[in-house]
Structure 1
Amino acid sequence: MQTNTFRTGLLAAAVVFALAACNQQPASGGASAPAASSPAAASTASGPAAASGPAAASDVLAGMTEQQKASYLIGYLQGQQLGDANTILDFDQATLIKGLQAGMASQPLPVSDEEANNILQQYHTAQMGKLATRQLEEGKAFLEANKAKEGVKTTPSGLQYSVKTEGTGKQPTAKSTVTVHYEGRLLDGTVFDSSIKRGEPATFKLDGVIKGWTEGLQLMKEGGEYTLYIPAELAYGDKGNPSIPPNSVLVFDVKLIKVQ
């Protein structure tokens, strides 16, 4: 039982962190897929063969026993998770399937648990390093282009911001407590945090947040609305966090409601 628990931990080490990162990972190319109404998409869709969605998916289960349906769905959900993790971990699919089959057949692990853990940790670290490098390059390119846009200002620290509305009220210091509405996005537009969606503003001390927020909010006055473009070194750096990939530039729309 102890060995099985340990091996379950190996899978978690290899997949769970990758899932958290890739669920919020900016698209590497920045281009969206063609719309279904575009010529490229329309030319490939014709008749029943092009059917998709729940109705088409249910046909896969037609004629299956309840055991087979459950087995298919379990396999599908596991495969979906592995597919998401593959965005970062870059599995060899054929070898992965062999490993799944060997594990389901209770074949012996070809290496010790300790060695398996080391292999997975080393590979995971290498892949996350590649992601961090890609994020760093994309972030630098974005900030370089963004600073040339009309209305965007850059501070000596590298923080960029644009003003939607200038406030007329009190201006905070680094020791102030502020109440704000905000939305935080990655460069691909993915929203990772939003007080607006939660339906209530957030209140916090400016000396207890990321550097980009501490600096950026001090530029504002009550009633002001800014967009902050925060370089990774003023945010979560090369470590990231479970919802933000390493070396991510963060974009925040912020409305300063109150300064205490």
Structure 2
Amino acid sequence: MFKDILVLVIVALAVLLSACNETSQPAVTHSPQENLGSRLDSVSYAMGMNVGRVLRSQGFDTLNYDAMAAAIDGILNNAEQPFKQEAANRMINTYVSERAPVLAAQNLLQAETILDSLRKLPSIVEPEEGVLYRVLQQGKGEYPAHQQQVQVHFISKLADGAVLENTYDSGTARILETGSAISGWNTILSIMRQGDIFEVWLHPDQAYGRSGGYGGLVPANAMLYYQIELL
């Protein structure tokens, strides 16, 4: 169930390198806040963001950052390390395995608490258990057919507000087939019409469940929030 540290690093780097594939996308205007002193400072921070997101999803809520920085510096400078890579992998996998049940239970409790509070709001609709939505904008277009390809813009977030993906920022809508997404998305897309914008909250059973997913960025039993626009 849990990935070797090498897989975690690959996932983090894949998220990083995906930016290199956006050269064919429409240009995005960057705010001054995206520059941190120097280009190297900005790139270093960006790498830390991506690695941190993966680590957090695996239960690393805190680390000794001085020790981590020293290890990175040592590897980059080919210095002798206090233990071999195999031992390092075992330490990490043991820690993740021990933390996993606790993290999953915490996430499930958080999900159910949030969804229970949302159910009390008059603007919230629950067409299927664990799939809650609120209409932000009503469209006037057609309802998509089953297994029809549609275009959507969306923002996805974890319960703590951490953004997983924002297609508005990339400027490129996502193309997907109705009925072929995660369960909660299939339910929502079946009741949306072109032009609709919904806020959506998904119980983990309607999202990535006990195993998590999304390239390792969604933890086990995580509730997900979306803003979805059907184009």
Distance 1:194 1:178 in 2: 17
Tell me the equivalent position of 1:143: 115
What's the counterpart of residue 135 of structure 2? 163
Equivalent position of 1:254 in the other structure? 228
Paired amino acid for 1:220: M
Q: Percent identity?
A: 21
Secondary structure class of the residue paired with 2:211:
coil
8 A contact 1:226–1:255 mirrored in 2:
yes
CA contact (8 A) 2:130 2:205 kept: no
Check conservation: 1:174, 1:214, Cα contact below 8 A. Answer: no
Larger Rg: 1
User: Size of the alignment, in residue pairs?
Assistant: 188
**Within 2, Cα distance between the matches of 1:198 and 1:221?**
23
Mapped to 2, the partners of 1:105 and 1:217 lie a distance apart of 54
Match of residue 19 from structure 2? none
Q: Aligned to 1:174, which of 146, 149, 166?
A: 146
Distance in 2, matches of 1:219 and 1:235, equals 17
Partner of 1:206: 178
Letter in 2 for 1:88: G
| Residue range with higher mean Cα deviation, 83-92 or 114-123 | 83-92
Structure 2: which 5+ runs fail to align?
14-35
Measured after TM superposition, the shift of residue 223 of structure 1 is: 1.5
Distance 1:105 1:113 in 2: 11
Instruction: Choose the corresponding residue for 1:244, options 218, 224, 231.
Output: 218
User: How far is the alpha carbon of 1:156 from its aligned partner?
Assistant: 3.0
Tell me which residue corresponds to 2:169. 197
Distance 1:105 1:225, change over 3 A: closer
Between the aligned partners of 1:229 and 1:92, the Cα distance in structure 2 is 30
Distance in 2 (CA, whole Å) between partners of 1:234 and 1:168 is: 27
After superposition, residues 78-89 of structure 1 pair within 5 angstroms as 85=55, 88-89=59-60
TM-score, normalisation: structure 2: 0.64
- Residues 184 and 193 of structure 1 are in contact (CA less than 8 Å); yes or no, is this contact kept in structure 2? yes
Structure 1: distance between partners of 2:100 and 2:191: 35
Map residues 54-73 of structure 1 onto 2, 5 A cutoff. Answer: none
Cα contact 2:5–2:93 (8 A) shared by 1: no
Which 4+ residue blocks in structure 1 deviate beyond 6 angstroms? 17-20, 112-116
Taking structure 1 as the reference length, what is the TM-score of the superposition?
A: 0.58
| Closer/same/farther in 2, CA of residues 251 and 113 from structure 1, 3 Å limit | closer
**Contact 1:167–1:222 (CA under 8 A) maintained in structure 2:** yes
Partner-residue secondary structure (3-state), 1:88: coil
Question: Which residue does 2:33 correspond to in 1?
Answer: none
8 Å contact 2:143–2:193 — kept in the other structure? Answer: yes
Given residue 159 of structure 1, which amino acid in structure 2 is its aligned partner? V
